[in-house]
Amino acid sequence: MNSRTPKKIFVDGPAGRLETVLAEPDSDHPRGIAIITHPHPLYGGTMNNKVVHTLFKALLELGFIAVKFNFRGVEQSQGDRYSGNDHGAGEIEDVLAVIETTRNQFASSFNESPPLILAGFSFGGAIQAYVAHRLTPQKLIMVAPSVERLNAPSLAHPGAKQDSESIPDILIIHGDQDDIVPLNTVLNWAAPQELPVVVIPGAEHFFHGRLHILKRVVQDSCRP
């Protein structure tokens, strides 16, 4: 079996087993670990979403151990599905469990704590902002993130004295035709933090016909 062939595993999460798919790059020295999260569980979001798959494939091709999973209560993941009233507290814990399990599984592949990339689409993008606030990954990739609906925390505080290592490198990508997560909500979140936003012209929320551009932007941003 090719090492890039995705493998399904089950990770022990705080609310039960989490259905997870993992793939390793064709390299004895992976660049790090990339954890990708999916859209809203109450609106059909799963790890099989095309944007999630695009992020998974893009980061795997760049040499990262790529991991995607279903949040609690989605498909074969155990637990109660997102209730909509706690800003995804349970889902944040799910991500942390997957990160810990993956780090432990591949500890021997790294001489020190492996670089961590957090990536997420829509609901998953906002969830990753909360996770980044707690873990400070090497990079955070947010695609059409629903930061307003989930009241995502600020990650950068311009003018404040802060250690550069405490701030992740943040890539925000959005479509100018998004009518599910309006572009202005992301701009309003990013502007006070002085965070740039990459806008893909003609792209709607699911990036139909623009996934190749999304992949290129991600890979250009994450190359060594």
Q: What is the pLDDT of residues 28-40, one digit of tens each?
A: 899 999 999 999 9
83-106: average pLDDT:
94
From the CB of residue 53, how many other CB atoms can be counted at a distance below 10 Å? 18
**Helices (DSSP H) in 62-121: which residue ranges?**
89-105
**Mean pLDDT score, 8-20:** 98
pLDDT at 28: 84
Tokens of 140: 């955070």
Can you give the pLDDT at residue 1? 45
Q: What is the pLDDT of residues 116-169, one digit of tens each?
A: 999 999 999 999 999 999 998 999 999 999 999 999 999 998 876 555 556 789
How high is the pLDDT of residue 4?
Answer: 76
Exposure string of 8-42, with b = 16+ CB inside 10 Å and e = fewer, is ebebebebeebbbbbbbbeeeebbbbbbbbbbbbe
Domains of the chain, CATH where assigned: 7-222 (3.40.50.1820)
pTM of the model as a whole: 0.95
Nearest to 37 by CA among 113, 137, 143, 138: 143
pLDDT at 86: 87
